Structure 1
């Protein structure tokens, strides 16, 4: 753990700090030091010779990157401290420039579309199919990607979610091989796939499938601190160019708390990952079995696999459908949090997701199962009329995201916005998949969906109007 070891050596040196940060190892901010602890504050330091420099690593960070690349089976690994959002954006910006086309599913995280706004690339969407029972979008089909490639042979890259928030996986190996045959790069958003690199009996990881770049949220299932991630680089990409792209947006003051957490967590997974994720799989399966015995809930898993839209399923994901209960997923989410002090990852129109990883235990899962059983007894509705079924609506893209985002715009009340072209995002967060993105036409169906998720208590984000009463639309269009 080169970064951790360098920090421990640095602490022994008793260096007098006439540099930043200004709290001077915690001495200048007692309340913060009391809250975080002296050990934490003493290593919240700036780049210096013995600690290397994240923007241009030549010693301990370089060594840590090499160890991470080896652990993940990549050629190169970059430490990311601006979150996986920054890793995704760097990946897209390294592959595409203004006017380039990129093939991707529409159910991507907003960070992907943000990257298109930054670089001016043009999205070619492969609209995912819908599972009508669960109300969720699925993976990209190989035939859908093939059709997009035939129609857009000049596209520069294909982006794949591996897996989706719900655990759905596309046929990443076949899609990668197809894209490479046509000279296109393949980018994997693996924000929810760290464990695929270390566990057994799990879907194929991006690097194992041969993708060119993958963004991995180490903090989600790998145990590092929030906001810390890796950008992995495989064959066919110039790593020097990738680092230059990263340095366009990533801070020049990389947090050594985040860097060391990546270093420590990488070592833990490299040594213990197989055992850790075997246990995670067992806990998730236990919870699924117990929840499915309650009735009216459906904790789904590999039985959904069809070899196409659901090529594989990530069994660590405890995704639970709530529609048969007569409750939206967000309603169950809110009841769990407000009445049972249980915080699950998210609730949407028809599902909740309980994120199970390295830090979970059997006792807490039993508490979740018990709470869900009680919620069914107390809140089940016989009348299920008026419930929306789907969390994804196929968009009509009229204008490129960058053009729409920077265009002249006006604010309209939601009810008056039908037929206009949106110039901003509307999404529930989490998961951060846009209901509307810049450049897409606003329809009655979309407005009904926005009204529904607001009524049910989803955290709706994106618009300039924080109350989500108005939407910015393109002027005169």
Structure 2
């Protein structure tokens, strides 16, 4: 009843597992699935495990801020119309940076073509519990399957997750079998209890806690408006960098505070260390020009005031940090994904590791993901082109982390 769905399942090994359970329940070998390229890597691994065939939606990247937006409604509609035999549409409901799709429109388009909708809403578990968020809630929009990380922004213990199901064709028996494949027969009952308590807290106190946080953020934005070199990004900024933001009625979760620090003359490493030493703040993520701070149900006004005071010091230059102007920058756009085979065939195939330089015209056998922005550049089964190689070399030269690349090599299928 709390989450307004037919079924809610408690999962004790994270939404990474929740995502895989849903994908393996719904997809069979060779089934077509439309997937947002920006989805969490657990979704990409779920595609491998289900041996399904993904059709990727493009990634819309802002090189200025190093963040990505959800796919446009026009692209989702076009892709669905070109792939009406798809079984499932998978999207991220709220991006790491808080960008929100108008999911009601998305769900309606998919359901008109008989396609089920699964929304990974890991970072937006409180979406139903405040009127400012409710419109963008995946459950409110009518999605068939939704996952929530109850430990990320609400109050359950780490690894605690919910699976919510509203699918009228839900096969409960088969779902439970897949669930059993992933579940331990010795679950930690503290995790289960924390999911129970979290659910009750959202029901009883969710609105009050969220309302207080929204008021604190509004106060913080008013204070930071006077800063010269630091800017808290909001809807107007996203409208400028993403043309479809306004057209598609997208939103932004203000509890994900994205701060433009590109005008500061310090290295990201030093800014990160300063915030940790000065106020004990571990920033959630940074790109070449932004830092991201997340507020959870446990956020307090005093923490936000401490953040403002630290930013004020950085802005005024009253800090003992070395000046540094060198900043990395992301290439303008991600190369397209062109699959040569079903990803699972490549992933489980006979493979070898080669230097990135030697991979032109080969078929990728692993998942290669640069951070930031955390979008897979290469997926198993994908044709590797010189464009991909140049992109990876550019990112590697800037010292960015590239998951799936080992000592400058990646896995490809043997010829």
With normalisation by structure 2, the TM-score equals 0.87
**Superposition RMSD in Å:** 2.8
Contact kept in structure 2, 1:92 and 1:115, CA below 8 Å: yes
The answer on 1:235 being equivalent to 2:167 is yes
Give 1:208 shift.
0.8
Match of 2:357 in 1: 415
The answer on 1:302 being equivalent to 2:235 is yes
> 1:364 and 1:392 mapped to 2: Cα distance?
37
Contact kept in structure 1, 2:264 and 2:314, CA below 8 Å: no
Match of 2:39 among 108, 113, 117: 108
With over 3 angstroms needed to count, the CA separation of the structure-2 counterparts of 1:371 and 1:183, relative to structure 1, is: same
Match of 1:364 among 303, 306, 312: 303
Match of 2:283 in 1: 344
SS in 1 for 2:258: strand
With over 3 angstroms needed to count, the CA separation of the structure-2 counterparts of 1:445 and 1:335, relative to structure 1, is: farther
The answer on 1:312 being equivalent to 2:251 is yes
With over 3 angstroms needed to count, the CA separation of the structure-2 counterparts of 1:149 and 1:196, relative to structure 1, is: same
> 1:321 and 1:354 mapped to 2: Cα distance?
11
Match of 2:211 in 1: 278
Give 1:283 shift.
2.7
With over 3 angstroms needed to count, the CA separation of the structure-2 counterparts of 1:397 and 1:337, relative to structure 1, is: farther
Match of 1:19 in 2: none
Match of 2:184 in 1: 251
With over 3 angstroms needed to count, the CA separation of the structure-2 counterparts of 1:77 and 1:90, relative to structure 1, is: same
The answer on 1:399 being equivalent to 2:338 is no
* Equivalent residues in 2 for 1:120-199, closer than 5 Å: 120-199=51-130
Give 1:358 shift.
1.2
> 1:250 and 1:76 mapped to 2: Cα distance?
18
Contact kept in structure 2, 1:328 and 1:350, CA below 8 Å: no
Contact kept in structure 1, 2:362 and 2:383, CA below 8 Å: yes
> 2:21 and 2:255 mapped to 1: Cα distance?
28
With over 3 angstroms needed to count, the CA separation of the structure-2 counterparts of 1:334 and 1:387, relative to structure 1, is: farther
With over 3 angstroms needed to count, the CA separation of the structure-2 counterparts of 1:133 and 1:470, relative to structure 1, is: closer
Give the gaps of 5 or more residues in structure 2.
Answer: 240-244
Match of 2:329 among 387, 395, 405: 387
Deviations 1:369-415 (A, max 9, x none): 3333444534665566x633568554333333212211221111233
Contact kept in structure 1, 2:61 and 2:67, CA below 8 Å: yes
Q: For this pair of structures, how many residues does the alignment match?
A: 403
Give 1:277 shift.
0.8
The answer on 1:98 being equivalent to 2:37 is no
